[in-house]
Amino acid sequence: MVVDGPGPDLTPIDAGATAPEDPDQALARAIGAATAGEGEGGGRPSKGQVREILGLARQSAGRAGGRAVASGRWLSTITLDVAGHLPARDLATLRQHHEGLAGALLARTLIRNASVASGAVGAATGALAAVSESNPATWVTLPVELAAETLIVVALEMKLVGELHEAAGYPLAADLRANGPLIARAWSESRGLSPKDLTTLLRPGQAGAVAATASDMLGRSARDQLTAQIRRRLISRVGRNTATFIPLMAGAVAGGALNARATRKLGVAVATTLGIPPP
């Protein structure tokens, strides 16, 4: 007997299809991409990139839950993920982009450019807050906007930390996925890597040694400790960034100035510990 009707679906499965990217990793990747840039103000994200980051931040924060967001655990975890997606340049590329400068002169230029980009992010977020004043309902989104601003500025600063190590002769940019925890730790401590880690970097066969060091830091206990350290640093940074939401355009000016000053201070501190204080 013949039975009418559709048979089984024999459509072949697309072997090349991939599952949607994890929201946390998508956010980290987008922030890393937004900090790419070469000249003065390089790393300043476009409006489209900011919109994408805001959307991804809402998804990621929503999945993490209110407790993780309120405690700062979500923000610190994303910061550590971002460290593995930074577009940090190696020394040869940095010298090519900055007319052959090296050492302290290169450090000065890197710090100046990162400060300009950092200030631009604060000014842009302050301007957004000023526009939002006319519609009180939109204020519920400002905490996410503040988190997004903080993440972008911190990414710019971690990229600066990585490139200052390059300028000082301690290469980190070759494998950011492996070296991300090293950069995040240096940022959280506002200093260059410890003498022990720098010795490891200069050892023959350094690539494997550095990867091993970073892998050790990615152990659960070490990662939790580093995340807590980053969280403490972020608490003070978020507190300063609330100036971005001062009424009217005063917030844009305050946010930009505070970000630029903090980034410059960090850069000088890291360069000094690496032995290349900018002139």
- Each residue of 159-206: pLDDT tens digit? 999 999 999 998 888 777 788 888 999 999 999 988 777 776 666 555
User: Which residues of the chain register pLDDT less than 50?
Assistant: 1-3, 5, 7-9, 11, 13, 133-140, 243, 245-252
Question: DSSP per residue over 19-86, as a string?
Answer: PPPPHHHHHHHHHHHHT---STTTT---HHHHHHHHHHHHHHHHHH-HHHHHHTHHHHHHHHHHGGG-
Predicted local confidence at residue 258, as pLDDT: 81
Q: What is the pLDDT of residue 247?
A: 47
Q: What predicted TM-score, i.e. pTM, was given to this entire model?
A: 0.81
Contacts of 261 (CB under 8 A, 6+ apart): 115
